[in-house]
Chain A
Amino acid sequence: MMGHYIALSLLAVLGLGMIFIFYLTVKGRTIERRFVFLYIVFTVSLPLFVKMKPPIQVSPEVQQVVETITSLSPGAKVLISCDFDPPSAPELQPMLVAFTKYALKHDLKLIFMGLWPLGPSQANRGLRLALADTIIAAKNLTYGVDYVNLGFQSGNEFVIQAMGGSFKSMFPQDDRRIPYDSIPLLNGVVNYRQIDLVMNFSAGKPGTIEWIQNAVDRYQVKLSAGNTAVQAPQVYPYLRAGQVRGLMGGMSGAAEFELALNEKGKASSFILSQMFSHLAVMLFVIVGNVAWLMTRKKK
């Protein structure tokens, strides 16, 4: 309840600021860029200190991801390609963490890899967080048996193609330099045929589209994806064509995913901040336009 009041007073403060900006603009004194910047600093950072659960609805695309994941039976092998770097982490890392937590709780076997140089270290970061979870820690999972990180391989979509022949050809050893053949989890894993699902967290190229073109189209791989909000619209055509099973887009996609899997994480707290900043952007558009229309009429 307390949270609500704080949020409301925050809204009031930011609202008053916006009214002031509006007043100045209508008066014909277009405010300087720097004030817009300052306003955004407050809008983004203040809500981070507020604890409140915003109302979110799980969209069908995210629901499809969840259904794809929940339909996997224990022991199913999932290949997770982390094709992003730290700048995109605010959006994609929460998805990765929520997925990893869910998967490890439900005894899925996880094989991480990355087509971006920094992807595997994001995976390690996510794994560390997931393994610290009390339920997962109690399971005493071992590296190489329950999860493994194959590391990064350069070559973009050619890596995806070559993996259709054999994983080992692209990853002779894993991230910890253990030879492919001596990793128990990978025993019998030759190529995509032994993989039940590919999860792709993608911030650009190579990413989901390359996975679709080279793994889904060629090797009939089952693919679900999480994308940055920017990347997501480009994947929509493929979603509609059924080439990708579900899509999480941006931070709201991550928050919906956390909600649907019941794995509360960072996205759930970031989303409030995001909501405020969106509101600010929309208000800036409105203020700019109203002021512009009014001054035009005067002329």
Chain B
Amino acid sequence: MVSTANQGDRRCATNLIRLLLVTFAVLLTFLHNRALADNSAVDTSSVVSASITPLAPPTSLVVSDHVYDNAERLDLVWVPSIDDKLIASKLIEYRVYRITDSGDGQRIAVLPAGANSFSDENVESGHQYSYYITSVGADSEFPSISSEPIEPEREWLNYHLISLLLICMIIGVAITYFIETARRGKKLFIRRIAGLEAIDDAVGRATEMGRPILFIPGIQDMDDVGTVAGVTILGRVCRVVAEFDTKISVPTSRSLVMTAARETIKTAYQTAGRPDKYSDDMSNYITDEQFGYVAAVNGIMVREKPATCFYMGTFYAESLLLAETGNSVGAIQIAGTSNPMQIPFFVVACDFTLIGEELFAASAYLSSEPKQLGSLKGQDLGKAIALTAITIGVIAATGSSAWHIGWMQDILNALESIFLTR
């Protein structure tokens, strides 16, 4: 790929290409077969019965099991009544009736004129259902022929998501593979991330000035990946803090984050061999309210004048409120967030900013444990796959739309069905 690529990288690239080719081949075959199957299943009959009744019922009612679900849905399609017209229609609405286990017909839905499909989502496996639909006029109702009884089926694997499963597995296996090789001692190169290199200095500065460090793990709860990333970084930062024996303060906007943060800080102090220096006061819950929290943190900043501020996690509007106040008290500031909208504010007002993916990589980077770094390498493989797919996809899309090359359209379709999972 690049002139600086060494032997190992090249071998890795070859393997990668081989892996990709095999996957694509498998998927193409699979998708092709599925497309054939889908085509044959489409109901194309549009025979309209020549009815002489005042109001024709809908025809060609087909009921089918909704695929890849937990036996909870049946799909109905029909051809609308010939009396269902856009203008001056005699037909007012359709009514859907359901017969459960050859019992009585029960009205389950009323649909406006023009409707030609319905999904019954109140079915259970173990029962037989048949349906009929009526055309309803001002004072009359005419039923269609009842459909064959059908039982909803439960599927154990969602084949719509099979490509997702495959890609997840490829990347999962790759990450695990790189973690393993790294564990076995293979040296991994990871580029410098300036914001993370600066952490030691930033902590050192606070120590020298005798002022505290402020760490904000975002304003979301522990069920947010950004917060989880923030807390893992807190662990790494705290280890340095414990070594320098600096004061750290972690105000949180969620109780759970406070609990997790205390756990994390305690562990860091233990690992650094200073368990006696830890105290629960290092992390305090303030309030769940976004701006109440900001008001309090701004107050803390102005009163305690931290020498260093970290903002790592999920941030919304408060990003600049925090960063500008931090700046006004002369703190060194290091930020990281995955919210693309807030990155610019941190970029402008902070000294260092981790952008998107860098936030999630930070903890691994800081740990400098080979197995953690290995996972970053796995991430890169994911990017390589994305890049390859985009390149092929763009070429195929261009070829098919600008020059109408058929096989390029096929490639594009295949790629799209892999990546568009819904």
Which A residues lie at the B interface, using CB under 8 A? 33, 87, 165, 188, 190, 193-194, 204, 217-218, 230-231, 233-234
Contact = CB atoms under 8 A, between A and B. Distances in A.
A106 to B, nearest CB: 20
A194 B109 CA distance: 11
Contacts of A193: 111, 115, 118
B317 interface: yes
Contacts of A190: 109-110
Contacts of B356: none
Contacts of A33: 328
A230 B340 CA distance: 10
Given A33-B328, A217-B422, A218-B422, A234 B340 contact: yes
Given A193-B111, A230-B341, A234-B341, 9 more contacts: A165-B121, A188-B93, A190-B109, A193-B115, A194-B112, A230-B317, A231-B341, A233-B341, A234-B340
Contacts of A217: 422
Interface of B: 93, 109-112, 115, 118, 121, 291, 316-317, 328, 340-341, 422
A88 B118 CA distance: 38
Chain A interface, DSSP helix/strand/loop, else mixed: helix
Contacts of A165: 121
Nearest to B72: A165
17 contacts: A87-B291, A165-B121, A188-B93, A188-B110, A188-B112, A190-B109, A190-B110, A193-B111, A193-B118, A194-B112, A217-B422, A218-B422, A230-B317, A230-B341, A231-B341, A233-B341, A234-B341
A151 to B, nearest CB: 22
A230 B344 CA distance: 12
A245 to B, nearest CB: 19
A233 B344 CA distance: 13
A231 B339 CA distance: 11
Contacts of A233: 341
B189 to A, nearest CB: 33
A193 B93 CA distance: 13
Nearest to B290: A87
A210 to B, nearest CB: 14
Nearest to B121: A165
6 smallest A-B Cβ distances: which pairs? A165-B121, A188-B110, A217-B422, A230-B341, A190-B109, A194-B112
Nearest to B108: A190
A92 B420 CA distance: 32
Contacts of B291: 87
A72 to B, nearest CB: 15
Contacts of B328: 33
Nearest to B328: A33
Nearest to B341: A230
A33 B118 CA distance: 62
A229 to B, nearest CB: 10
A123 B386 CA distance: 43
B226 to A, nearest CB: 12
Nearest to A166: B121
A194 B110 CA distance: 10
A231 B341 CA distance: 8
A33 B341 CA distance: 25
A34 B340 CA distance: 29
B287 to A, nearest CB: 16
A230 B110 CA distance: 41
B315 to A, nearest CB: 12
Contact of B316 (A188, A194, A204, A234): A204
A194 B113 CA distance: 11
A13 B100 CA distance: 79
Contacts of B110: 188, 190
A260 to B, nearest CB: 27
Contacts of B317: 230
A194 B115 CA distance: 10
Contacts of B111: 193-194
Nearest to A217: B422
Contacts of A188: 93, 110, 112
B109 to A, nearest CB: 6
A204 B109 CA distance: 35
A230 B291 CA distance: 17
B188 to A, nearest CB: 34
A3 to B, nearest CB: 33
Contacts of A194: 111-112
Q: Which of A190, A217, A231 has the most CB of B within 10 A?
A: A190
Nearest to B420: A217
A33 B317 CA distance: 20
Nearest to B324: A33
Contacts of A87: 291
B272 to A, nearest CB: 37
Contacts of B121: 165
A165 B108 CA distance: 13
A217 B422 CA distance: 8
Contacts of B316: 204
Nearest to B122: A165
Nearest to A190: B109
A234 B111 CA distance: 35
Nearest to B342: A230
Nearest to B317: A230
Contacts of A231: 341
A184 to B, nearest CB: 14
